Amino acid sequence: MVSGCPPKCLCHQFSKTVDCRNRGLVEVPSHIPLQTQILLLSNNRIQKISQSAFIGTLALKILDLSNNSVSGLSPSTFQGLKHLKELDLSSNTIVSLPGTLGNNTGNITLLSLKHNKLQKVDRRLLESLPNLKVVLFKGNSWQCNCQVFGLKLWLESFLYRGGISDAVICSTPENRKGKDLLRIPYEMYGICPPTSSQVHQTTTQHYNLENRSSLKHVHHNEHGDSGRSHCEPKPKPRPVSLRHAIATVVITGVVCGIVCLMMLAAAVYGCAYAAITAKYHREHLPPGREKGNLKGKELFESSLA
C-alpha cells in the first residue's frame, strides 16, 4: 500500500500502477495518485463515468475498463489524457460511442471495443485517432446497412496501412447475418446516400477540375487563342476500352502471323522449284549438246578476235 492510494486498491509506486480489479466498485475511485501511468479497473460494476473521473491522472498511459457495466461515454470523458496509449472498453454494455474521445486522445495506439452492444461506430471517431495500430470489434451487434458503410471504408484503409483488427461480423439484416463486413461487395450499398466524407471528396475533386480547366483556358489565351468562347463546350475524351485494345492487338498479331507464314511458304516453294528444275536439266540434257555449245562458243570468240 502507498499513502494516498484509493480505498480497496493496490498502488505500486515503482511501476506507477493502481490496481483496482475485482473490488466491486460502482464508479471510478477518486484520489488516484498524479503520477499513475497504469490504471486497472476491470471486473467491477462501474456503470457511468463522470466527466471529472480522470482529471487528476494526466500521465495515464494504460486504462483498463473491461468487464464492467458501462453503457455510454461522454465526448469529454478522456479529454485530458494526452499520454494515453491503450484503452480497453471491452465486455461492457456500450450501445453507442461519441464522435470523439477528446481532443487530446490522438496518441491512442490500441482500442478494444469487443463484446459490447455497438451497432455502428462513427467514422470520425476512428479518424480522430491517427496513431491507432490495433482496434478490436468482435462480439457486437453490427448493423450492416448504410450506417456501417463508413466503418467499412475506414477499416479497408486501416488494414491497407498495416493496422491490426479482428472481423466485423454482421448481426442484421437477416440476409447478411454472420457475414464479414469486409466481404460484402460495394454493390450491396448502391442505394446508400453519400457520406459526408464522400461529399467532401467529390466537392474537392470538382473544385480541382474547375481550377485545372480555368488554368488551361488562360494558357490558350496567352498563346493567341483568345477567339474561343469561354462557354464553348470541349469534346470529351473517349474512354479507352481495354477489351477493344486487347482485341485489336490479337487481330493484328493473327494477321501478321498469317502474312509471315505465306511469305515463308512462297520462299520454300521457290527454293524447291529451283532445285527440282536444276536437277531435271542435269539428268535430261544430252552430253553432246553441252560440248557443242562449248565449241560454238569458242568459234564465236575467235571470230571476234
pLDDT tens figures, 58-87: 999 999 999 999 998 988 889 889 999 999
CATH number at residue 175: 3.80.10.10
Q: Which of 165, 191, 217 is the last residue of a domain?
A: 191
Distance CA 107, CA 128 (A): 10
Same domain, 41 and 179: yes
Same domain, 298 and 155: no
Residue 156: which domain range? 1-191
Instruction: Let me know if residue 252 belongs to a domain.
Output: no
Residue pair 60/87 in contact (Cβ under 8 Å)? The answer is no
Instruction: Let me know if residue 304 belongs to a domain.
Output: yes
Greater confidence (115 vs 250) lies with: 115
Instruction: Let me know if residue 218 belongs to a domain.
Output: no
Same domain, 179 and 42: yes
Greater confidence (189 vs 269) lies with: 269
Distances (CA, A) of 69 to 75, 76, 89, 254, 256: 18, 19, 10, 72, 76
Instruction: Let me know if residue 139 belongs to a domain.
Output: yes
Distance CA 120, CA 123 (A): 9
* E strand or H helix at 286: none
Same domain, 42 and 163: yes
Residue 232's pLDDT is what?
43
Same domain, 30 and 168: yes
Same domain, 161 and 36: yes
Same domain, 31 and 178: yes
Instruction: Let me know if residue 205 belongs to a domain.
Output: no
The C-alpha cell 455510454 sits at 72
Instruction: Let me know if residue 215 belongs to a domain.
Output: no
Same domain, 61 and 180: yes
Instruction: Let me know if residue 200 belongs to a domain.
Output: no
* Confidence category of residue 241, pLDDT binned at 50, 70, 90: low
End-to-end CA distance of the chain: 139
Longest dimension (CA), the chain: 143
Q: Is the peptide bond before 173 cis (omega within 30 degrees of 0)?
A: yes
17-19 β-sheet, strand order: 10-12, 17-19, 38-40, 62-64, 86-88, 110-112, 134-136, 164-165
Average pLDDT, the chain: 79
* E strand or H helix at 215: helix 196-222
Distance CA 40, CA 63 (A): 6
Instruction: Let me know if residue 272 belongs to a domain.
Output: yes
pLDDT tens figures, 6-27: 999 999 999 999 999 999 999 9
Same domain, 22 and 152: yes
Q: Which of 191, 218, 251 is the last residue of a domain?
A: 191
Q: How many helices (H) and strands (E) in the chain?
A: 5, 10
In the chain, the number of structural domains is 2
pLDDT tens figures, 199-226: 444 444 444 444 544 444 434 444 444 4
pLDDT tens figures, 91-133: 999 999 998 888 888 999 999 999 999 999 999 999 999 999 9
Q: Which of 191, 214, 246 is the last residue of a domain?
A: 191
Same domain, 22 and 171: yes
Beta bridge partners of 169: 180
